[in-house]
């Protein structure tokens, strides 16, 4: 019986890979970007969106209402995208979510540009 040859394994994930690919060869064939829907003025979702346009929000600092996560979910249903992260605030027993508007998302970006809020 022959013994197996020893093989050397090189980790390819550590090698830098050049990214020379074009964004898209046929941009006219891509589906159109649907902008996110703006909430009705004066609603809780509108108040939450106005606050999120100013900067990141979390429930501990959001004094406009007690259901920030519900308002964010309503906005997500209308096409808005958010970046979330867990934060720990002094006095809180568990981590809470912080929401930030994802301005790089095509639908969110299109809505902001259409309103001039970009």
User: Is residue 105 in some structural domain?
Assistant: yes
Mean pLDDT value across residues 10-14: 61
Low-confidence winner among 38-42, 83-87, 89-93, 98-102 (lowest mean pLDDT): 89-93
- CATH code of 53's domain: 1.10.10
pTM of this prediction?
0.71
> To the nearest whole percent, how much of the chain has pLDDT over 70?
80
Query: In this model, does residue 13 exceed pLDDT 80?
Result: no
Phi, psi of 79 (to 5 degrees): 105, 0
User: Is residue 73 in some structural domain?
Assistant: yes
Query: CA quadruple 74, 76, 82, 88: dihedral positive or negative?
Result: positive
Cα separation values, 43 from 50, 65, 91, 98, Å: 11, 11, 30, 21
Domain membership of residue 95 as a residue range: 35-115
Contacts of residue 66, defined as CB under 8 A and 6 or more positions apart, other chains included, come to: 59
**Number of separate domains in the chain:** 1
* Token pair recorded at residue 32: 């159109």
Report the mean per-residue pLDDT for the chain.
Answer: 86
User: Is residue 22 in some structural domain?
Assistant: no
């Amino acid at each position: 019986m022959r013994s197996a040859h020893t093989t050397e394994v090189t980790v390819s994930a550590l090698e830098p890979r050049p990214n020379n690919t074009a964004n898209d060869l046929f941009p006219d064939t891509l589906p159109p970007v649907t902008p996110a829907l703006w909430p009705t003025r004066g609603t809780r979702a509108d108040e939450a969106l106005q606050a999120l346009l100013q900067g990141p929000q979390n429930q501990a600092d959001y004094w406009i209402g007690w259901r920030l996560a519900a308002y964010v979910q309503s906005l997500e249903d209308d096409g808005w995208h958010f970046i979330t992260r867990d934060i720990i605030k002094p006095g809180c027993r568990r981590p809470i979510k912080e929401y930030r508007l994802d301005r790089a998302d095509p639908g969110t970006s299109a809505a902001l540009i259409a309103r001039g809020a970009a």
